[in-house]
Amino acid sequence: MKNGHFFTLIKKIMYPGLAAIIATSLLLGITACGTKVTRVKADSVTDLSGNWNDTDSRLVANEMIQDALSRRWLNDFNRKYHKSPAVIVGTVRNLSHEHINTRTFIADMERALINSGQVDFVASRTERGEIRDERKDQDLNASAATRKAMGQETGADFMLTGSINSIVDASGGKQVRFYQVDLTLIDMASNRKVWLGQKKIKKTIEKSSLRL
């Protein structure tokens, strides 16, 4: 039955004043069950569940990349080759107790590296596959003046890999979550580890009823 028909029926069988009160209460109940959405800034700090979130990803990536770019390996490379090093981000493994979208974390690191202006950045393995397919298509269909030849890619000088680990300690309604992010920068030519970065985050969560 539609709301309009329902309210009409109430008016017919009840006193006008009482019918109005009931109709108003029903409308308020319907409004109260609605969903409220509030927009916030994308870079605002939000912690609802205590899980790893976008704030952790962004802050950790920015801090660790800044640390990496301030170390000796970058100056040594610039002095030896007189150019910026080419960097690629490899695998970042999620070894924590919860599901973490590592692609978001990798994207935050890529953005911090590129925006620094101190390194060149090369496409990932997945991206390279799509680009190579496009080159093959160009080889057949694009004009000689515009097609891009195979075998002209820039090779990476360094690869950044890492892992995200966690430890959970809980008792009663209180829980402590500890996250540790470890990153390693590896020289592609020699397999030397030229930088090791580590960032730790600890969160205390208190709930009346806590479930892991």
Residue with tokens 């979130």: 53
* Mean pLDDT value of segment 161-176: 89
Each residue of 93-113: pLDDT tens digit? 999 998 888 999 999 999 999
Boundaries of every domain in the chain:
3-32, 54-206
Q: Give the separation between CA 15 and CA 91, rounded to whole angstroms.
A: 71
Residue 43, both tokens = 């870079």
Q: Does the pLDDT at position 11 exceed 60?
A: no
- Count the alpha carbons within 13 Å of 144 in the hemisphere toward its beta carbon: 0
Please tell me the pTM assigned to this model: 0.73
Please state, in angstroms and rounded to a whole number, the distance separating the CA atoms of residues 45 and 35.
Answer: 22
Which parts of 28-152 are beta strand (E)?
86-95, 120-121
Average pLDDT over every residue of 178-196: 96
Per-residue pLDDT for 12 more than 60?
Answer: no
Q: Which CATH number fits domain 54-206: 3.30.110, 3.40.30, 3.40.50, 1.25.40?
A: 3.40.50
